[in-house]
Chain A
Amino acid sequence: GENVEQHPSTLSVQEGDSAVIKCTYSDSASNYFPWYKQELGKRPQLIIDIRSNVGEKKDQRIAVTLNKTAKHFSLHITETQPEDSAVYFCAASTPGSARQLTFGSGTQLTVLP
């Protein structure tokens, strides 16, 4: 089955700096890659997603890039703010099954004021 590796596990940045989180996946058939933000005790919230027919997608301060050849994708957050502090999860979905998501292990992002 699919396996998703995520790093770093923790990331601290100064307010206003950029943050980058990287993920790799194992199944070349995977074609949908969402990113979720989870605050302590709260539900995972979708912040951006990308499909395999697209190499990059941007939404205000958040962007995701996908390299299908290398089987990796990255989340970029620019101009970070303290409210960006949370755990971020990448995930991959493989067709032909239930399209369940296989998640990475998460990155604890801390934005220091």
Chain B
Amino acid sequence: GAGVSQSPRYKVAKRGQDVALRCDPISGHVSLFWYQQALGQGPEFLTYFQNEAQLDKSGLPSDRFFAERPEGSVSTLKIQRTQQEDSAVYLCASSLGGHRDSYSNQPQHFGDGTRLSIL
């Protein structure tokens, strides 16, 4: 695949349900980021993986949010007991290098996102 792939593109859930959002990064990309984008706003950082290691989860808004990347490739963002304020577009991005290696500050390439609506 040429780019970052996210699924589903749209997800509607009732308040209280759990959801899982998938990100398939560009092959070979070490770094993977999740961002949350509210309507009319810029993306906001949620969490960062270098390979399978979650090195930064400082942006996760609550302990209902959980992310994993067990094999260093595909990542899943899970939201438990969804609330209406979780409604947003969830964007995944990947970049070639790790945060400290010689490829640091490589461009981040974004997926199309998952638009999550909580009813």
Contacts and interface: CB of A to CB of B under 8 A. Distances in A.
B45 A49 contact: no
Contacts of A93: 105
Select the residue from A42, A51, A101, A106 with max chain B CB neighbours within 10 A. Answer: A101
Interface residues of A, number: 26
A6 B40 CA distance: 13
Contacts, number: 63
Contact of A44 (B40, B48, B50, B91): B91
A44 B108 CA distance: 10
B105 A104 contact: no
Interface string A91-113: 10101011111111110000000
A97 B108 contact: no
A31 B106 CA distance: 12
A106 B41 contact: yes
Contacts of A98: 31, 33, 45, 48, 50, 55-56, 99
Nearest to A42: B112
Contacts of A89: 42-43
A61 interface: no
A49 B109 CA distance: 12
B113 A43 contact: yes
Given A100-B48, A102-B45, A105-B42, A43 B111 contact: yes
B59 interface: yes
B46 to A, nearest CB: 9
B99 to A, nearest CB: 5
Interface of B: 4, 31, 33, 35, 40-45, 48, 50, 55-56, 59, 91, 99, 104-105, 107-113
